[in-house]
A and B are shown apart, each in its own frame.
Chain A
Amino acid sequence: MTMFSDKTLDEARRGMERWREEARKSADRFPEQKLFCTISGLPVEPVYTPENIKDSDFAESIGYPGMYPFTRGCQATGYRGKVWTFRMFSGLGTAEDTNRRWHQLLKEGETGLSTAFDFPTLMGYDSDSPRAVSEVGKCGVAIDTLADFEILTRGIPLDKVTTSMTINPPASVLWAMYLVAAEKQGVSWDKVGGTIQNDMLKEFIAQKTFMCPPEPSIRLISDTIEFGTKYVPRWNTISISGYHMREAGATAVQELAFTLADGIAYVEDVIRRKKLEVDAFAPRLSFFFDAHMDFFEEIAKFRAARRMWAKIMKERFKAKNPRSWWLRFHTQTAGCSLTHQQPYNNIVRTTIEALAAVLGGTQSLHTNSFDEEFALPTEFAATIALRTQQILAEETGVINTIDPLAGSYFVEALTNQIEAEAWKYIEKIDEMGGMLAAIAQGFPQREIANAAYEFKRQVDSQKRVVVGVNKYVAKEETPVEILKIDERVEAEQVKRLREVKRTRDNRKVAQTLRELRRACQGEENVMPYVIEAVRAYATEQEICDVYREVFGEYRDPGFY
C-alpha cells in the first residue's frame, strides 16, 4: 500500500511541472554543469518527490528499527542503546609492537580490537620462508606460532574485548590460536567474542589472498562455521565482505550484489555439507562493507543490504529466527579514496565516509588514517582517525535518532534503485549456477575490472574530480612522517620461531599434523585437529602446508 494519498501524489505531479518551468528559467542563467550521477554511475534526478517512492509501502519497505525487513537497523534502539564499536584495524611488526599499539588504542577509547596480519601470515607462510623475505611485519603483525599469539594478547581481557581478525585462507589456524590463548587466560570458549573474516570467495574475486582452490576453501569455512555453532557461540565465524571488491574497483551495486551472492553460497554449503538447520548458524554470519565517497549512495547501499539479506534469509532459506534475518556489519572507510597527494585532505574524506557508515547504521567501524596511502599508520595518525569516530558519536548528535534519513524521497528512492540493480546481478549469478560457477567463469572478476578501468578513465579525463590529484594540484607536496618497520623485525621474528621449534615437543607436533592430514583427507571437521596442532606449537605454515598438500594450491588466472 502506498504511503501517499492520491491527492498528495496529484499535488506532487502538478508541483513538479511548475518546478520544471522554474528550473528551465534558471537554466538559462545557470545551465547544468555536467551529467549528475553517483560515483558508481547511477543517474541522480535534480529533485525527488513522493512520486519517486509511490510504490513503496511504509511497513514493507521502511518500517521500524529492529523489525523486519530491518531497513532501519537490526537493533530496535539503534545507537541510543549501543554506539557502534570503535574498531581500528591495527597490526605492525612483531607481536610485542602490536600489543603495545593495541593497549595504546584501548587507552584512547577504542572499544574493540581488529588485527592486521602481515602478508606471510595472511598467506600461510612462516617468517623464515623464502616467500617471506622483506615482508615480515611490514603490512601487519607477524604471527608464526601460539607463542607469538600469547604475546599479542598479553594483558588483553579476552572475555571482555571482542577481536576481529582479518584472516582468510589460514583463518582456522589463527582462530585456533585465539581460542587456545583465551583458554590459557582462563577464559572459556563460550565467553570469547570476535570475528574471523574467513571469506574466501571475495579473495578469488578481488583481494587475491588465496591458498587452496575454491572447493576445499569452502569446506574449511563450513568446518569453522560448524565448530563455532557448537562450541564458540559468541563468535562470528565469517565476515562476508564487500570491502575488498569495492576497493578493487567494484561499483556500490556490484559490492552489494556480489557480497550477498557470496553469503548465499556459504549458507547453501553449510546446509548441504553439515546438515545444519539455517537458524542454527545464520545468526553468527556477519558482513563487512566499504564506505566510499558518494555519501547518499553509501547510506542507501547499507539500508538496501539489510533489507535484501532479511528477504534472502526469510524467503529463500526459510529462516524463522529473526536473528537469522539480521545483516550485522562492520564498515571501513574507503582506502582507495585516499590520495597520495595532499594527504591531510584524507582526514576530511574519512570523516565524510565515516558519517555515511553511521547514518547507514553500521555496528562497527574502522576509520582510515590519513597516512595509510604511504604505509601503516603512525600512532599520531591512528589517533586522529579514532578521534574522528568519537567526535561523530559524541559531539554531532547524529546518533540521537535512528535512521534519520528514512523518508527522504531521495534516499528511499536510491535505496530502492540500488536494491533493484543488485537483485539483477544475484539473479544472473543464480542462472550461472551460483557464485562458485560465476567465479570459475571470471564473471565478477571481469565486471569489477571493467568498472575499475572505467573509473580510472573518468579520473584521467577529469570527468571525475579527485581533489589534489586531477584538480587543485599542489606545486609542492608537504611531506608527512611515515611509519617505518625496522629491519630488525624479520630477524627477531625468525629467531623466536627457531627458539619455539627447538624447545617444543617435535614428536607431538608431527603426530598432531598427521592427525590433521587424516581429517583433511576425510570429511571430519578439521578444527579440533588444528587446535591440537596449535596447542603443540606447530607453526602456521606447518599447518597450512598440510592444507596445501591435501587440497592443492590455487593459481591466479590473471584476468585484467
Chain B
Amino acid sequence: MKQKRKLRVLIAKLGLDGHDRGARIVARGFRDAGFEVIYTGVHQTPEQVANAAIQEDVDLVGLSCLSGAHLYLFREVVRQLRERGADNITVIGGGVIPQEDIPKLKEAGIKEIFLPGTPLDEILKWTEENVKPAG
C-alpha cells in the first residue's frame, strides 16, 4: 500500500501585529498531529507569505491576523497565490474577525475562518476532510 504523504502546512502571521499566541498554538497542534509545519514568525507581508507557500510546496496556508487588517491582507495573499498559479493551495484564516467579514473572505477564496476559542481538533478535522495534497 502506498503511504500517504504528510500534508505540509504554512502558518503565517500577517501584517504588523505581533499577537502570535493563536498562530503558534495552531502550528504546534498541526505538528503534534503529524503534519509538516512551517511557521513564518510575525510581521509578514502578503508577498512574503505567498512566496514562502510556493517555495515550501505546502498544501495548506493558515493565516492569522488580530489587527483588523484581515480583509486586505488575507485577500491579498489569495490574489498573489493565484497570480503565480498556486491556487491549488488551500488557504484558511483565524483571528479577531467580525462575523460580517467572513462571507467576504470566503468569497475571495479563503476556505474557512476559525474564530477565537475554536478547539484544535476542530481545525484538524476540517483539514482532514477538506485538504488534499496540492502537488
Contact = CB atoms under 8 A, between A and B. Distances in A.
Interface of A: 119-120, 122-123, 125, 131-135, 138-139, 203, 207-210, 247-249, 336, 339-341, 373-375, 449, 452-453, 456, 459-460, 466, 469-470, 479, 482, 485, 555-560
Interface in B7-65: 11, 15-21, 23-25, 27-29, 39-43, 45
B67 A555 contact: no
A274 B129 CA distance: 60
A198 to B, nearest CB: 16
Given A208-B42, A485-B68, A453 B25 contact: yes
Nearest to A559: B24
Contact of B18 (A134, A209, A341, A469): A209
B25 A134 contact: no
Contacts of A452: 21, 24-25
A469 B119 CA distance: 10
Contacts of A139: 17, 67-68
Given A125-B16, A456-B120, A560-B39, A375 B69 contact: no
Interface string B89-124: 000000010110000000000000001110111000
Given A134-B69, A336-B21, A449-B24, A375 B98 contact: yes
B71 to A, nearest CB: 7
Contacts of A340: 115-117
A208 B27 CA distance: 17
Contacts of B42: 208, 556, 558
Which residue of A456, A482, A557 has the most chain B CB atoms within 10 A of its CB atom?
A456
A119 B67 contact: yes
A482 to B, nearest CB: 6
Nearest to B100: A482
Interface residues of B, number: 35
A456 B71 CA distance: 27
Contacts of A456: 25, 29, 120
Given A374-B96, A374-B98, A452-B21, A339 B16 contact: no
Rank and list the top 3 A-B pairs by shortest CB-CB distance, nearest first. Answer: A208-B18, A556-B41, A558-B41
B86 interface: no
A88 B96 CA distance: 21
Interface of B: 11, 15-21, 23-25, 27-29, 39-43, 45, 67-69, 71-73, 96, 98-99, 115-117, 119-121
B128 to A, nearest CB: 17
A558 B40 contact: yes
A75 to B, nearest CB: 34
9 contacts: A119-B67, A134-B69, A134-B71, A138-B68, A208-B42, A247-B21, A340-B116, A558-B42, A559-B24
Contacts of B11: 560
Contacts of B41: 555-558
Nearest to B38: A558
A477 B69 CA distance: 24
B16 A120 contact: yes
Contact of B15 (A135, A373, A459, A558): A135
B72 A133 contact: yes
B104 to A, nearest CB: 13
Given A131-B45, A556-B43, A249 B16 contact: no
Nearest to A129: B16
Given A135-B15, A479-B99, A460 B69 contact: no
B22 to A, nearest CB: 9
B120 A460 contact: yes
Contact of A248 (B21, B28, B45, B73): B21
Contact of B28 (A122, A132, A560): A560
B117 to A, nearest CB: 4
A466 B117 contact: yes
Contact of B21 (A122, A249, A459): A249
Nearest to A134: B72
B119 A460 contact: yes
A373 B116 contact: yes
Contacts of B20: 208, 248
B113 to A, nearest CB: 12
Nearest to A455: B25
B67 A138 contact: yes
A559 B40 CA distance: 9
B21 A375 contact: no
Contacts of A207: 18
A72 B90 CA distance: 55
Contact of A123 (B16, B19, B72): B16
A17 to B, nearest CB: 44
A201 B41 CA distance: 17
A282 to B, nearest CB: 29
Given A120-B16, A460-B119, A560-B27, 6 more contacts: A119-B67, A203-B18, A336-B21, A339-B117, A340-B116, A453-B28
A39 to B, nearest CB: 15
Nearest to A482: B98
Nearest to B44: A556
Contacts of A469: 117
A157 B68 CA distance: 32
Contacts of B68: 135, 138-139, 375, 485
A271 B22 CA distance: 38
Nearest to B11: A560
Given A139-B67, A449-B24, A122 B98 contact: no
A284 B135 CA distance: 58
Given A482-B98, A560-B27, A460 B21 contact: no
A203 B23 CA distance: 17
A459 B116 CA distance: 12
A479 B100 CA distance: 11
A558 B12 CA distance: 10
